[in-house]
Every structure is written in C-alpha cells, then in structure tokens.
C-alpha cells in the first residue's frame, strides 16, 4: 500500500491509534489478484459540546482516499469504500459522518446520494505559492500591519521544545473552549505529530508571552493550515493572527510547497469574519461540497430537504 497522502497514511493511522478521543479505521480495496488499489483513512471521534447530546461519536474523513495508478475507475472504487464506512460507522453508533476537502466539487456525487448523504456548499481557500512570491499577493494594509508588529518585537518561530508545544496546546484549547464545531485532538496526538516530519507547529510571541500559534501539515508538495489560534482581541494592535499565518505561508514557500490550503475557512454563511481574514492573504476562494450523513433517519431526511440541491 503506497501512502503519499498524509491524511490517508499509515503514519497518521498509527498516531491516531495511540491517542485518546478517536479511533482510526483504514478501508482497503483490492483487485482480483489481491493487490491494494485504494485505501481511505476514516476517524471515529468522541465529540463534546455545550448543547445536547453533550457527547457523541462523529465520523470524519479528509478527502476521497488514495488510489494506485492502476485503479481505472476511482469513483466506482470510492463508492465501495464509502458504503463500508457508512455501514461501519452506523454500527458503531456515530451520530453523523462528515467528508471534506474533496479534490473536485462533484467527485463521488452519485455515490454520496446513494448512501443518503446530503451536501452543503462550503467555501475553501488556497494560496498559490509557485506562480509568484507570496508577499506580492498581500495588500499594502496587510504588509503594513506585519511590519508594525515585527518592529514592535513580535516574533514567530517553529516549536523547538515540548514545553513550547504544551504552551501552544493549552492556548489552542482555551481558544476553542466555547466553539461548538471544532474538534481538538488530545495533547498526546499533538506530541506525536510534533515528532513527525509532515507536521510543523509555530508560535508567535511578544515579550516572551505566547499570543498566537498554528499547526500546518505538509503532504504531496502542499501545506495545509490545520489549527490556528491567537489572542487577536487582547493584542489587536499587534495582529497576532495575521503574523502567525504569514510566517506559516513563508515557511511553506521557502520549503517549495506549491499551495497553501486553509482546511477550515469558516462556516458556510454569507458573512464570515474568519473567511474575510484569510482572504487578505491573496488566496483563491473555491466553493465545494461537504457531505454529511446523520444516522438518525428522520433528522437526516429533514437536513437533506433543507439542503436539497
């Protein structure tokens, strides 16, 4: 089994397997000779919220899996894997399953529908790093903010010690404590990712105080912003969120990444402060689908009707 995509790799499987709060499952498809032609990593997570049911299981998949060059019909193979994931997570009493970051908006449309998933339009944003230097995409206002913060003593650096990693994790947990949607993995997972070459974590400091940080994933020549947290309200004049993201983009460009993807670009509302924020870096917005299947039949029917296409 070839693993070039970190989101569907045995590396990430083993990391998730050894951390609490989630269980990984690898779906493997073989041809008639027993050769693996495709695989997909799916995560079953325990998710807690401030509203009922307070704690529940969620199935989560990033992308459509990874396929060998010999795989002739990717969508048909994807349909087989989707069916197995759907059946398995329903048996495991997951509340719902979510697919995101598909390579193309219409990929697997027929198979999602056959398995009773409903789509939500979801804007994704990415920056091209190969066509021009990333600073050329910034507005004068953004460049001025970054220069002001740096002249005031704000610095961003890659996490170098476990103590710094723990500071970042505590900051991340506090930042997302009141957020309903986001799932924060356990500290164990961040520790294991810190030891992995595909993951980089950055912290932004001012006068030896942590005011921001982010984690990016490097896979197949691209960088993906996974988590971002900052004290942007407390230190608004220093714009720690802007400085943190900018330094992550610079790192990706310096390490020859072709694109910088924002895995989370805000909820799919017409107005989104976070989406407006990340568009300031000159990224390209693309509307794609996120697919959901709720395992309470009547609730799934209601949402399927509300989000009918």
Which CATH number fits the domain that encloses residue 66? 3.40.630.30
One domain for residues 164 and 265: yes
One domain for residues 77 and 152: no
Of 115, 143, 166, which residue sits at a domain end?
115
The Cα 100–Cα 291 span in angstroms is: 7
Model confidence at 92: pLDDT above 70: yes
Lowest mean pLDDT among 110-119, 223-232, 278-287: 278-287
Q: What is the arithmetic mean of pLDDT over 19-30?
A: 94
Confidence at residue 284, expressed as pLDDT on a 0 to 100 scale = 84
Q: How many residues does the chain have?
A: 309
Q: Is residue 306 part of a domain?
A: no
The Cα 30–Cα 21 span in angstroms is: 30
Mean pLDDT value across the chain: 91
Model confidence at 101: pLDDT above 70: yes
Of 96, 115, 134, which residue sits at a domain end?
115
pLDDT level of residue 181 (50, 70, 90 thresholds): low
Model confidence at 291: pLDDT above 70: yes
Model confidence at 80: pLDDT above 90: yes
One domain for residues 51 and 133: no
Hey, which bits of the chain come out as E strands?
A: 22-30, 36-48, 55-62, 66-67, 96-100, 118-128, 155-158, 199-206, 209-219, 222-230, 259-262, 284-294
177 or 306, which is more confident?
306
Q: Is residue 292 part of a domain?
A: no
One domain for residues 132 and 279: yes
Q: Is residue 67 part of a domain?
A: yes
One domain for residues 132 and 205: yes
Q: How many domains in the chain?
A: 2
> Residue 17: which H helix or E strand, with range?
helix 10-17
The Cα 90–Cα 71 span in angstroms is: 28
Structural domain boundaries enclosing 77:
6-115
Model confidence at 213: pLDDT above 90: yes
Confidence at residue 198, expressed as pLDDT on a 0 to 100 scale = 94
Q: What are the CA-CA distances from residue 120 to residues 105, 138, 235 (Å)?
A: 11, 30, 35
Q: Is residue 253 part of a domain?
A: yes
Confidence at residue 177, expressed as pLDDT on a 0 to 100 scale = 77
Confidence at residue 33, expressed as pLDDT on a 0 to 100 scale = 86
Give 248-285 pLDDT, tens digit per residue.
Answer: 999 999 999 999 999 887 666 777 788 888 889 988 88
Confidence at residue 148, expressed as pLDDT on a 0 to 100 scale = 96
The Cα 298–Cα 5 span in angstroms is: 36
Strands 66-67 and 96-100: unpaired
Model confidence at 299: pLDDT above 70: yes
One domain for residues 174 and 109: no
Confidence at residue 289, expressed as pLDDT on a 0 to 100 scale = 92
CB 95 within 8 A of CB 65: no
One domain for residues 130 and 187: yes
Give the global pTM.
Answer: 0.92
Q: What is the arithmetic mean of pLDDT over 29-53?
A: 87
The Cα 41–Cα 81 span in angstroms is: 10
Model confidence at 196: pLDDT above 80: yes
């Amino acid at each position: 089994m070839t693993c070039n995509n970190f989101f569907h790799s045995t590396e990430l499987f083993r990391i998730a397997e050894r951390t609490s709060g989630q269980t990984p499952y690898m779906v493997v498809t073989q041809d008639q000779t027993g050769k693996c032609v495709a695989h997909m990593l799916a995560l079953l997570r325990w998710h807690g919220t401030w509203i009922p049911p307070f704690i529940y299981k969620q199935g989560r998949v990033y992308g459509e899996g990874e396929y060998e060059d010999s795989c002739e019909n990717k969508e048909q193979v994807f349909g087989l894997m989707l069916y197995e994931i759907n059946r398995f997570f329903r048996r495991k009493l997951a509340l719902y399953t979510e697919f995101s970051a598909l390579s193309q908006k219409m990929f697997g449309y027929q198979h999602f529908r056959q398995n009773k998933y409903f789509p939500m339009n979801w804007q994704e944003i990415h920056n091209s790093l190969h066509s021009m230097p990333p600073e050329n995409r910034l507005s004068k206002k953004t460049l001025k903010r970054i220069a002001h913060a740096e002249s005031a003593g704000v610095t961003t650096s890659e996490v170098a010690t476990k103590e710094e990693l723990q500071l970042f994790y505590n900051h991340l947990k506090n930042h997302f404590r009141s957020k309903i949607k986001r799932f924060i993995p356990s500290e164990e997972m961040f520790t294991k990712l810190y030891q992995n070459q595909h993951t980089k974590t950055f912290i932004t400091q001012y006068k030896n105080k942590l005011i921001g940080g982010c984690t990016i994933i490097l896979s197949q020549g691209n960088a993906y912003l996974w988590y971002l947290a900052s004290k942007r309200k407390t230190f608004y004049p220093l714009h720690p969120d802007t400085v943190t993201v900018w330094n992550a983009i610079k790192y990706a460009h310096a390490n020859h990444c072709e694109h910088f993807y924002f895995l989370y670009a805000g909820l799919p509302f017409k107005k989104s402060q976070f989406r407006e924020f990340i568009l300031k870096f000159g990224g390209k917005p693309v509307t794609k689908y996120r697919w959901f299947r709720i395992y309470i039949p009547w609730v799934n029917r209601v949402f399927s009707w509300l989000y009918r296409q």
